[in-house]
């Protein structure tokens, strides 16, 4: 094609047709410019198509990640509610002069010292944030929800850390003033009998310091319950925005 254009230009010059040569040259430039513009347009179209495909895959991955997180949360909530019920029951039993039945107290404490902590995956979202892809999402509602989730997740982590620390303190107090062995016998995986020492965990219910530890535990558990409910609502909204029909 290039040789063809050269021959035409040479023939026009040889024949002395300067005006026609100039017009032809301009026309040739115009054609080249149009060709370049078309090529750029095709390239932009291809880039846009690839970007849309990448975003679609990212949204699908986000949906999968949040769906699995929601499933994990539902499982954790089952344990959380059981722990709250046991802790509330123990909390109501604190009184002087009346000794509770030891086996019942051990059974309750078995669930009280559970530490239901939810640790959702953030692999896809972190990758999206680190790559700068979050701000490029076309779905503005999804962008806002993900920003809210990131901020909420940081607050949630603080609650989970507080929950674990409170539980550790409670277990350490029982270790120093009660019998962990008697509590562990309530577990199916603990294949040993109760302590042969004269140690009754029901006596802990007359200890003000133990009551304070239980109070801390119950307070954090209720905070976790509220936080998990908020997390569930936010995740459901994110799933609605990332569901591809």
pLDDT in tens, the chain (245 residues): 445 445 555 554 455 555 554 555 566 666 666 767 766 676 566 565 656 677 888 889 999 999 999 999 999 999 999 999 999 999 999 987 777 888 999 999 999 999 888 888 888 888 888 887 777 788 889 999 999 998 998 889 899 999 999 999 999 999 999 999 999 999 889 989 998 988 899 999 999 999 999 999 999 999 999 999 999 999 999 999 998 76
Cβ–Cβ under 8 Å, residues 88 and 218? yes
> Whole-model pTM?
0.76
Residue 42 C-beta-side C-alpha neighbours within 13 Å: 6
d(CA 106, CA 124): 43
Residue 102 tokens, joined: 């030891």
Q: Which residues contact 84 (CB under 8 A, 6 or more apart)?
A: 218, 221, 222, 225
The pLDDT score that the predictor gives to residue 21 is: 47
The pLDDT score that the predictor gives to residue 28 is: 60
Outline where DSSP puts E strands in the chain: none
The pLDDT score that the predictor gives to residue 90 is: 96
CA 117 to chain CA centroid, Å, is 13
């Amino acid at each position: 094609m290039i040789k063809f254009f050269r021959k035409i230009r040479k023939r026009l010059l040889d024949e002395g047709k300067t005006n026609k040569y100039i017009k032809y040259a301009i026309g040739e430039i115009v054609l080249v410019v149009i060709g370049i513009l078309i090529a750029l347009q095709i390239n932009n179209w291809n880039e846009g198509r690839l970007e849309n495909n990448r975003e679609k895959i990212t949204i699908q991955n986000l949906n999968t990640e949040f769906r699995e997180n929601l499933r994990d949360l539902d499982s954790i909530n089952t344990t959380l509610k059981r722990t709250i019920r046991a802790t509330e029951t123990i909390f109501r039993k604190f009184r002087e002069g009346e000794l509770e039945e030891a086996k019942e107290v051990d059974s309750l404490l078995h669930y009280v010292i559970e530490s239901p902590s939810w640790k959702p995956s953030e692999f896809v979202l972190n990758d999206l944030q680190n790559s700068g892809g979050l701000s490029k999402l076309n779905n503005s509602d999804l962008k806002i929800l993900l920003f809210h989730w990131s901020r909420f997740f940081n607050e949630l982590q603080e609650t989970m850390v507080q929950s674990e620390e409170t539980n550790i303190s409670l277990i350490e107090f029982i270790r120093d003033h009660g019998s962990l062995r008697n509590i562990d016998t309530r577990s199916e995986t603990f294949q040993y009998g109760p302590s042969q020492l004269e140690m009754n965990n029901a006596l802990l219910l007359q200890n003000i310091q133990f009551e304070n530890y239980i109070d801390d535990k119950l307070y954090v558990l209720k905070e976790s319950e509220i936080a998990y409910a908020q997390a569930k609502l936010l995740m459901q909204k994110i799933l609605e925005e990332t569901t591809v029909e």
